Amino acid sequence: MSALRIKKGSTAHSAYNLRANYGELDEPHTLALLVDNEAGVLARVIGLFSGRGYNIESLTVAEVDHTGHLSRITIVTRGTPQVIEQIKAQLGRIVPVHEVHDLTVEGQVVERELALIKVGGTGEKRVEALRLADIFRAHVVDSTLDSFVFQLTGTSDKIDAFADLMRPLGLIEMARTGVAALSRG
């Protein structure tokens, strides 16, 4: 008996489905939490992520209801659908957490981030940095003879693209706020 020379997973009729399982993609998700604005809540939420080995790509926190003492935590994390469901379930069990929303699956989302970017340079590099800032609609918020500080608001991809273009021109320093997100409509 000779071995069959069939390409593994080549057809849907194969007894062994060896094709990549695309339902298990590691993808970013934006989670929005409404929590009590009290000491230790953020530490408990972050502890849940670190204790289970989940990474946080972006984190923003601010009080959104002064009278009700409620804060909104926006977290961008990565994981398979099963991991994201597990994260949401575990976050929902934390006592000071009132609501957990996965904005990525709930529909269209408006996401923005603010960055302050310091770029140094003189001569042609200075002129090129100003020209690119104009294209990206970045505002000059500080200027010296040797550097600029630009303020840029937009998606994370837009900020990454601007920073990549500024690196060869003399990117000195960058500060980012993290993603703020709301459902559309």
Name all domains of the chain by residue range, CATH numbers in brackets: 24-102 (3.30.70.260), 109-183 (3.30.70.1150)
SS3 content of the chain, % helix, strand, coil (to 5): 30, 40, 35
pLDDT single digits (tens) 80-107: 999 999 999 999 999 899 999 999 999 8
CA distance 49 to 57: 11
pLDDT single digits (tens) 108-132: 999 999 999 999 988 999 999 999 9
For the whole prediction, is pTM greater than 0.85? no
pLDDT single digits (tens) 128-140: 999 999 999 999 9
